[in-house]
A and B are shown apart, each in its own frame.
Chain A
Amino acid sequence: MMGFLPYLVAAWLLLVGLYGVVTSRNLVHAITCLSVAQSSTYILLLSVGFERGGTAPIFLDVPVGTKAVDPVVGALTLTDVVVGATVSALLLALAVQAYKHHGTLDPERLKPERD
């Protein structure tokens, strides 16, 4: 069970985050839920690179050759964290704009003016 728990948590967070996006009545809330869904990929990436008993891949105090976790997933997740945050910032700016034009943050009420 322990061998699968992190994957289960990742899948759960992805679906819960998407549930929040789909049912949200407030754009800012939806954006935060999206960042929860995004965080599932951090867990997934770090989990597949984790090696039990490994140290951090920093060989300042330990010699090279010491069992260490995968440094690549660390680098990938770093990128992922930045991307997630910047997309959220952009989305928040769009949400502020939407409020300005429509007077609401409720996605249900952001109705298009039909042609």
Chain B
Amino acid sequence: MSPRLRRRVFLAAAAVAGALLLWGLTGLPDYGVYVGPYGDVLNQVAVAERKATNVVASVTFDYRGVDTMGEEYILFAAVLGVAILLRAQRDEHEEPPDEDAADRRAPGTSNAVRVVGLALVGPVVLYGLYLVAHGHLTPGGGFQGGVVLATAALLVYLSGEYVTLRRVSPELVTDLAESTGAAGYVAIGLLGVAAGATFLTNVLPLGQPGALLSAGTIPLINMAIGLEVAGGFMLLISEFLEQTLVIRRPGEVT
């Protein structure tokens, strides 16, 4: 199809599809009206049963923990995929950084940005760790915290310290963090099996609601995910970085 024909066909079809979609959506209860029962039941029982004050966390990591295991492995698979695609490409395309690369250089970084960026790394890491550790109490958790931790690595890059970043997160470490986190989730699931219950049963002591050490396996899972997500996103970013930085000469940062 030519672009113009395609646009016309799409618009015609989308008009019909959109009408159908809206027709179906009018069958929903009005926005703001919730009929339940799933969420209502969980809001009633979850805190008592799981001792986690954040019910979203109980749902994510306990009641529907197997979904989250799948989700974690989706990230795992995507990161592996990116690594396979881009590393294979790098191997076939390895060329030494050449000298007339001036027109292709990544934009330089000013000293002020560098200082601010580096100064932010500490607080960002702390915040990420906080999010991971308090996921069962307040909003946050392994996923959000993991991404925040990965952005700490990014800050290092933005401040132009790419060489430092390479030293901090070589592929081996991020690969290892990622796969340990992923395997950790399954291992925690097997704890339930070892205790004679089903897979992913929360068999650790639950403690008291609101305490940092509560909710049994939920904080452990959060840690596993935090590790996996931080490693995974760092790997994603550094794979793309590797791509851009092949052409950036070391010490060229101004």
For the complex, give the distance between the alpha carbons of A112 and B60 in Å: 43
Contact B236 A89 (CB under 8 A): yes
In the complex, the answer to whether B86 meets A75 with C-beta atoms within 8 Å is: no
Question: Is B156 positioned at the interface, with any CB of A under 8 Å from its CB?
Answer: no
In the complex, the chain A residue whose C-beta lies closest to that of B26 is: A4
Contact A75 B31 (CB under 8 A): no
Does A71 count as interface, using CB distance less than 8 angstroms?
Answer: yes
- Contact A72:B34 (CB < 8 A) given known A7-B25, A60-B210, A89-B78: no
Looking at the assembled complex, report how far the CB atom of B75 sits from the nearest CB atom of chain A, in whole angstroms: 5
Q: Which residues of B contact A87 (CB under 8 A)?
A: 78
Give complex CA distance A30, B44 in Å: 43
B59: Cβ under 8 A from any A Cβ: yes
Task: Check A86/B56 contact, CB under 8 A, given A23-B6, A60-B210.
Answer: no
Q: In this assembly, does B104 line the interface, its C-beta being within 8 Å of a C-beta of chain A?
A: no
Question: A22 — which chain B residues lie within 8 A by C-beta?
Answer: 6-7, 10
In angstroms, Cα B20 to Cα A95, docked, is: 33
Q: Can you name the residue of chain A whose Cβ is closest to the Cβ of B84? A: A93
Whether, in the assembled complex, B14 has its beta carbon less than 8 Å from a beta carbon of chain A, the answer is yes
- Give every chain B residue within 8 A of A49 (Cβ-Cβ): 34, 39
B29, B74, B139: which contacts A86 (Cβ < 8 A)?
B74
The 0/1 profile, CB within 8 Å of B marked 1, for residues 77-111 of chain A is 01100110011011011101100100000001000
Partner of A4, one of B31, B54, B75: B31
| Stretch from B45-53, B174-182, B200-208 contacting the other chain | B45-53
Min C-beta distance of B44 to chain A, whole Å? 7
Query: How many whole Å from A26's CB to the nearest CB in chain B?
Result: 13
Interface of B is mostly: helix
Interface residues on A, range: 35 or more
> Complex formed: what's the CA distance from A1 to B239 in Å?
47
B246 interfacial contact with A, CB 8 Å? no
Contacting pair B14 A18 (CB below 8 A): yes
Q: Is B102 an interface residue (CB 8 A)?
A: no
Residue of B nearest to A21 (CB): B10
A69 within 8 A of B: yes
Docked-complex contact A71 and B39, CB < 8 angstroms: yes
**Contact in complex: A74, B21 (CB < 8 Å):** no
User: Would A75 and B56 be within 8 Å (CB), given that A7-B31, A23-B7 are in contact?
Assistant: yes
* Contact across chains for A50 and B34 when beta carbons are under 8 A apart: yes
Q: Which of A1-48 contact B (CB under 8 A)?
A: 2-8, 10-11, 14-15, 18-19, 22-23, 25, 47-48
Of B64-72, B105-113, B159-167, which binds chain A? B64-72
Contacts of B44 in A (CB 8 A): 64-65
In the bound assembly, the distance between CA atoms of A23 and B28 in angstroms comes to: 31
The answer to whether A69 and B25 touch (CB under 8 A), given A58-B56, A59-B53, A86-B75, is: no
Q: Which residue of A lies closest to B9 (CB)?
A: A22
Interface residue? B132 (CB, 8 A): no
B28: which A residues are within 8 A, CB to CB? 7, 48
**Considering the chains assembled together, what is the distance between the CA atoms of A108 and B5 in angstroms?**
13
| 10 further A-B pairs in the complex, CB-CB below 8 A; given A59-B55, A70-B38, A71-B56 | A2-B32, A7-B25, A48-B28, A50-B32, A57-B39, A65-B44, A70-B39, A89-B78, A90-B78, A96-B86
* 9 A-B pairs with the lowest CB-CB distances in the bound complex, closest first: A70-B39, A3-B30, A52-B32, A86-B78, A51-B34, A57-B55, A71-B55, A75-B59, A7-B25
